[in-house]
Amino acid sequence: MNYEAFFRSQLDTLHREGNYRIFADLERVAGSFPVATQHAARGKRDVTVWCSNDYLGMGQHPKVLEAMHEALDRCGAGAGGTRNIAGTNHYHLLLERELADLHDKESALLFNSGYMSNWATLCTLAARLKGCVVLSDTGNHASMIEGIRHSRAECQVFAHNDLADLRAKLAAIDPARPKLIAFESVYSMDGDVAPIAEICDLADEFSAMTYLDEVHAVGLYGPRGGGLSDRDGLSHRLTVIEGTLAKGFGVIGGYITGSVGLCDFIRSYASGFIFTTALPPMVAAGALASIRHLKTSSVERDHMHNRVARLRAALDAANVPHLNNPSHIVPVLVGDPVQCKSISDQLLDRFGIYVQPINYPTVPRGTERLRITPSPLHSDADIAHLVDALQAIWHELSIARAA
Ligand code: PLP
C-alpha cells in the first residue's frame, strides 16, 4: 500500500470540503492579552485574539504567574513520574483539596487535561459498573463520547437538552440496571445551557448517577466560580462534576470531583489516570492560585459578562447575526465552511483580528461559524473594531443578515 498517497488523499478531501485546518502562528504576550504576536511569512505583527478559551485572562494574571515561578524554582520543571510512582507532589494534593471545596464535594482527582478526565472517568465508570447504561446528550464533547465508546457499555443518546426524551429512555431501561446521565452545563459551540435541576430530578426518580461537564463554566459562573451548578446551588445533586484548569482558570489540566469513594475508585482503576506522568508542580501551583483568586474575586467574571453584553448589543446594532444564548459564547453563524474560513482569513489579514473558523467535525456541516469569546480584557475600542470589520465583510460577501 502507498501510505503517503493515502494520507494525501485524506487531506485532499479536507481541502476540497473547506475543512482543512490551519493553525495561526501566534505568540501570546503576557501583560497585553488579548494582543498576540502573529508570526507570518511577511514578518511579525500584533493581532487581537477574539477566540481564546482563556476566558478571563487568568493565563497572564500576576498571582498565577508568581505562583508558577515560585513552584518552578522550588520543585523544578516536571513532576518526575506518574502519580503512583514518585510523581505526586504536594501542590497536586493542595489543588485537589481546593477543587473539592470549589464544588462542595468530598474529594477531587486531577488529570492532565479535561479531555483525559472525561475520557478516563466515563470509560472507567461505564465499563466497571456491570450492565451500566449511559445516557448521553447529543451535544456532548468528543472526550465524553470517546470515553463512553471505549467502555463498551450500552449508550443511549438523548436529544439535546430534551427532558421528555431523556425520561422516555430512562423509563424504558430495566430499573435494576445502573444508569449514568452524562451532560454538559454550557455547550461550547452554541453557548446554550442544560436544565441541570430537571436532569437531576429525573436522575433521582430513576436512580441514575449524574455526570456534569462544567468545562466551559468553571471560573465564569457562580459566586465562587464553581460553574452553573455553583450558581444554581445544585452541586450537591450531581454525582460527578468535571472541569478543566485550562479555560476559565487559564492554565492546563482537568479534574473530577465527587465522593471519596468515587474519586478513589477512579484513581485506582482508570488507566488514563494511572499510566501517565503527573502535571508539573508549577502547573498545579498556577491553577491553585487561579482558583483561589476566582473564589473570592468576581471582578473578572463581572467584567467578562459586561463585555459579552456590549458585544452582543453592538452586533445587533450592526445587523450581524449571532446566536442568542444565555452564556458568554457568541457564535456568529456562517453556514458554509469555505466562506467561514474566508471571513476568518479576512479578519486576520485586513483587520488584525484573530477568530478561528469553526467547521466540521467540531460543528455539524451547514452550521459553520465564528465562535467569539469576549474577555474582561477586550476594550470598547476592540469591540468597535471587531464589529466594524464584521459588518464590512458581511456587506461584501452579501451573507444573509439577521431579520
Ligand atoms: N469538555 C468540553 C465540553 C470541552 O469543550 C473541552 C475542550 O474544549 C474539553 C472537555 C476538554 O478540556 P481540555 O481542553 O482541558 O482538554
Ligand 1: centre distance to CA 340 (Å): 23
Atom of ligand 1 nearest to the CA of 253: 15
Ligand 1: centre distance to CA 393 (Å): 31
Report the alpha-carbon distance of residue 242 to residue 234 in Å, rounded.
14
Residue 235: DSSP 8-state: G
pLDDT in tens, 284-341: 999 999 999 999 999 999 999 999 999 999 999 999 989 999 999 999 999 999 999 9
> What is the share, in percent, of the chain residues with pLDDT greater than 90?
95
Nearest to 316 by CA among 337, 326, 330: 330
- The dihedral through the CA atoms of 334, 335, 339, 345 has a sign that is positive
pLDDT in tens, 230-284: 999 999 999 999 999 999 999 999 999 999 999 999 999 999 999 999 999 999 9
222 lines ligand 1 (CB under 6 A): no
- CA separation, residue 272 to residues 88, 105, 125, 213, 245 (Å): 15, 22, 13, 17, 17
Q: Which of 118, 160, 256 to mutate to test the pocket of ligand 1 (most atoms within 8 A of CB)?
A: 118
356 lines ligand 1 (CB under 6 A): no
pLDDT in tens, 170-223: 999 999 999 999 999 999 999 999 999 999 999 999 999 999 999 999 999 999
* Mean pLDDT score, 31-38: 98
254 lines ligand 1 (CB under 6 A): yes
Q: Which of 215, 228, 251, 328 to mutate to test the pocket of ligand 1 (most atoms within 8 A of CB)?
A: 215
- Residues 6+ away with beta carbon under 8 Å from 25: 38, 39, 40
Whether residue 34 is preceded by a cis peptide bond, meaning omega within 30 degrees of 0, is: yes
Burial class (CB in 10 A: 0-12, 13-18, 19+), 40: middle
Task: Please list the active-site residues.
Answer: 247
Which pLDDT belongs to residue 402? Answer: 45
Which pLDDT belongs to residue 401? Answer: 46
* Mean pLDDT score, 368-395: 97
The C-alpha cell at 6 is: 493515502
pLDDT at 59 over 50: yes
The C-alpha cell at 86 is: 514518585
Q: Could you count the other beta carbons within 10 Å of the beta carbon of residue 25?
A: 12
